[in-house]
Structure formats: structure tokens, C-alpha cells
Structure 1
């Protein structure tokens, strides 16, 4: 009995000391364009803008070299969270549904992105969402 107890303690110590492994959700990127397909950040039309979650906490945004916007630290939760985009051109709402996954590494994945609002044309491009603001 004593040997089994010692074995379990040693096994617990070695498994508890393993490397932590976490996969963050894939980033979400937006490109804001007008009806002619011109990037609104590049031409200076879209300024200022921000995104807040349902608790009115601002989302960190990173502008890329091609004037797209990456939403930082979204999707790391189970369930659906609502967000609002604010700008001088338009205000609209969207939601992100995500879930936890288990595998080689634990983490979260974004399952669905839903845009709400009138007059918003959104297309899912390769790696980003193109949003037409008029």
C-alpha cells in the first residue's frame, strides 16, 4: 500500500510539472471599405473608430501595414459575446461565438461571427472580413 501511495505521489509530481500548453483563438481582422472598394483607413475617411464589448470595455485594435484592423484578445471564452463598432461613419453591432476545445493543447476557437445592422455588407475574405461602410 505504501509503495502505491509513493508511486501516485511521484506520478502526480511529474505530470503536474509538464509544460503548460494553450492555443489562443485565431485572430479576427476587418478591412473597412466604401462602395467603390477603397480602404477607408487608407484614404483617411474612417477616423476615429473603436470597438467595445457588451460591458463597455474597449477592445485593443492593431492596424496592419495594409490598413486592416486586427481585434486583439477576443474569443477566449465559452459562449457568445456582443460587441459594438463606433465610428464617424457608422455604428453597428456584431457578436462572436466561441468555445473551448481540448486536444494536445487546451484553448479556444471562434465558431461564428454574426454582424447585425442595416446597410452593412460583409464578405468573408481569405483571412479577414471586408466590411462596406456607406
Structure 2
């Protein structure tokens, strides 16, 4: 009986340490359209394009079936980071301000996106950013 109790106690202690819990920031999703609301990724007008951070490191981009692009692994830091979007059609800058939060799980949250550039408008559509290139 003592061995069984010791085994259960040891098992409880090892599992009670718990798995570390981490919440990644919400994804950042861009949709690029022209003034007539034509999707510039779907129709190929925007190709090729890329995004680099302030250290000239490329951001991994994932295209979606609906003609949007997901910016991978952005916002997992405390502070503000600057980015540049490059394409033959338009070049513009934007920044992402994020912060660490603690709770049931630690993680990061994106607090604010700021876009800078002439000839662009941005609409926040429930987490998707519709970028209208003029």
C-alpha cells in the first residue's frame, strides 16, 4: 500500500509541474485591394511582394485561398517593431506594438498596428486589415 501511495504521489508531483502554457499573439492578416475593391493578390497585380522587419529580416508570409496573406511570427515581443512592405506596385512602412501579458498562460498580445505611407488607406475588419492601394 505504501508503494502504491508513493507511486501516486510521485506521479502527481511530476504532472503537477504542468506543461508550460503559452498564448501566441493573434494572427495579422492583410488583404490588398485597389480602389475598386479588386483583390490584388488574387488577380496577380501585387506579385512579387515581401515584408522585412527593421533589421532587414524577411517575415514569413502565408497566402490564403481567399487572396489574403498571414504574417507569421509577428508580435511576440514587448515593444514596437517597424516593418516595410515591398512590391513593384507600392512600398510602405508599418509598425506593430505588442506587449506581454500574464494570466493562466503567459504570452503576447498585439496592441496596435500603425501604417505609414502615401496612397494607402487601411480598414480594420475584425482582425483582418484591408489595405487599399491607390
Which TM-score bucket, shorter chain as reference?
0.7 to 0.9
Q: Cα deviation per residue 1:35-86 (whole Å; 9 max; x = unaligned)?
A: 0000001111010000000000000000011010000000000000000000
Gaps of 5+ in 2: 1-9
Q: Say which is worse superposed, 55-64 or 16-25, in terms of deviation.
A: 16-25
> 1:103-122 alignment to 2 at 5 Å?
103-122=103-122
1:80 aligns with 2:80: yes
1:50 aligns with 2:41: no
More strand as a share of residues: 2
Distance (whole Å) between structure 2 residues aligned to residue 126 and residue 78 of structure 1: 23
Q: CA RMSD in A?
A: 1.5
Distance (whole Å) between structure 2 residues aligned to residue 15 and residue 80 of structure 1: 37
Q: Which runs of 4+ in 1 moved over 2 A?
A: 13-17
Q: What SS class does the counterpart of residue 57 from structure 2 fall into?
A: coil
Which residue matches 2:59?
A: 59
Distance (whole Å) between structure 2 residues aligned to residue 45 and residue 66 of structure 1: 15
Gaps of 5+ in 1: 1-9
Say how many residue pairs are matched. Answer: 123
> 1:123-134 alignment to 2 at 5 Å?
123-134=123-134
Q: What SS class does the counterpart of residue 109 from structure 1 fall into?
A: strand
